[in-house]
Amino acid sequence: MSVHIFKYGQREIDHLKRRDKKLGAAMETIGKITREIRPDPFEALVMGIVAQQISSKAASAIRKRLHTLLGEITPHRVAETDMSAMRECGLSARKAEYIKGTADAAIRGEIDFARFHEMADVEIIDQLSSLRGVGVWTAEMILLFSLSRPDVVSWGDQAIRRGMMNLYGLKNLTKEQFDRFRKRYSPYGSVASLYLWALSGM
């Protein structure tokens, strides 16, 4: 299985360094960041639901078992699979229901994952967050780590907020401050997000 990476280059790096000296200095120190993406948005959403509120190690183990069970992660494969078999992969009953519901919505045509590539970010967020078990944060992660949208900086992501606070030496971060930084990074906020995640643990 080939690995897909979030692509960015000198144009994005130069823009962010020019717009924000502190972020630019941090980028220089950290160097190029490699983050894997899942180009299929349905699969990415299923894996995103799996990862909610559990450790990355636990999520990875469940994902492997789901891949073994389903083979390809598609709406029809999920719909055909018994709920108890999905539970045996380590999923909670609630998460198994959310994944089944997402597959059903795709099969009924309520969510057209194939059209996401031509839809605006806000439309995708609206569609995905109408699903049970999918909030704005999960939808924003699909924009970034499946569709490679260039300008995603999520207020709902604690690590991104922590990264901002570490970068600018802030004890608290208001929504107004966050929005000011986000506008500064635009139109390459997604690359800034990669570095803010890296800074969140420092």
User: Quick one: pLDDT at residue 151?
Assistant: 98
pTM: 0.91
Residue 83 is classified by DSSP as H
**157 labelled catalytic:** yes
Which residue in 14, 112, 157, 179 is the catalytic one?
157
For the chain, 202 residues long, give each residue's pLDDT as a single digit of tens: 568 999 999 999 999 999 999 999 999 999 999 999 999 999 999 999 998 888 889 999 999 999 999 999 999 999 999 999 999 999 999 999 999 999 999 999 999 999 999 999 999 999 999 999 999 999 999 999 999 999 999 999 999 999 999 999 999 999 999 999 999 999 999 999 999 999 998 5
Domains of the chain: 4-36+152-200 (1.10.1670.40), 40-145 (1.10.340.30)
How far is it, in rounded angstroms, from Cα 8 to Cα 27?
A: 13
User: Quick one: pLDDT at residue 14?
Assistant: 97
Burial class from Cβ neighbours inside 10 Å (0-12, 13-18, 19+) for residue 141 reads buried
Alpha helices (runs of H) in 31-71, residue ranges in sequence order: 41-51, 56-70
